[in-house]
Amino acid sequence: MNRAYKTTAVVLRGRTYGEADRILTLFSTERGKMDAIAKGSRRTKSHLAGRLEMGNEVALTMHRGRNLDIVVSADIENAYWQNLVAPEKYAAANLIIELVDAFCEPDLAMPEIYALLTGALRAIGRSDESLGLVPRFSLLLLGALGLAPPLDTCVLCGASLVEKNAWLDSEQGGFAGEECRPNWRDPLALSETDMENLRALAAPRGTASAAVHATPAVTHAIETLVNHHLGRRPKSGAHAAEFAKS
């Protein structure tokens, strides 16, 4: 049996292991999320040193191990990292990486999410408003996972929401029309413009109606939906919120 294989992956995180090793969580084209060990990678003379940083996209030669697969060699394809040293970019990258890590099951290739992640890391590296890119990424991630809220119809009764105001019903994972508006205190209201913005965020980039940035109500709605599906608030979210305030 051939135990060697090649894959391309984004480094989601790493932790130190033993004296000089690191255990990495990778998001690979081949197998989706997976753990691997990079032996000796913390030694400055290691040929792996400095290549396996969070957010880097790397071409890997791997060896199937008994427990963990082993990184034999790594070549940097895209060092998004170099563009992420600005604190806001780092916060945005950290948040989207945490969401991919939290939502994706191990050993399941997800090419659509791989493309979404690398596209977003590239865009964050280039953008002056990098945290503003997170809501669209989150909405498209929910879509790729099959968790996207319906944007044209009431999540409860199916009535049309086109050219109407809507209210977030986070417990139902979507938006409700006037007739089904949640009866708790202060449900999040979205105007017609907000709902148009949501549809534009979900539209493929480059199409005439596509938008990149979310309105404040839409940002709040998407964060609430992500937390609902995740069952918690992302750890990096609090860090990102600090920038949003300042």
Q: What are the residues binding Zn ion (CB under 5 A)?
A: 154, 156-157, 159, 177, 179-180
C-alpha to C-alpha distance for 178 and 97, rounded to whole angstroms: 36
d(CA 110, CA 29): 7
Judged by beta carbon, residue 39 or residue 181, the one nearer Zn ion is 181
14: tokens are: 């790493």
Q: What is the DSSP letter of 36?
A: E
**Diameter of the chain measured on Cα atoms:** 66
- CB of residue 158 vs Zn ion: minimum separation in angstroms? 7
To Zn ion, the closest distance from the beta carbon of 220 in angstroms equals 21
- CB atoms under 10 Å from CB of 198, counted, come to 26
C-alpha 100/C-alpha 202 separation (Å) is: 18
How many whole angstroms separate alpha carbon 159 and alpha carbon 170?
18
Tell the smallest beta-carbon distance from residue 215 to Zn ion (Å): 22
> How far apart are CB 63 and Zn ion at their closest, in Å?
55
Closer residue to Zn ion, CB minimum distance, 147 or 156: 156
Comparison of 63 and 181: residue with beta carbon closer to Zn ion: 181
Residues 6+ apart with CB under 8 A from 28: 7, 8, 9, 34, 60, 109
Min dist. Cβ of residue 160 to Zn ion (A): 10
Smallest separation (angstroms) from Zn ion to the CB of 202: 20
> Is the Cβ of residue 149 or residue 177 nearer to Zn ion in the bound state?
177
Element housing 141 (H / E): helix 134-144
Nearer Cβ to Zn ion (70/156): 156
Nearer to Zn ion, 155 or 226 (CB): 155
**Amino acid at the residue 98:** E
d(CA 140, CA 147): 9
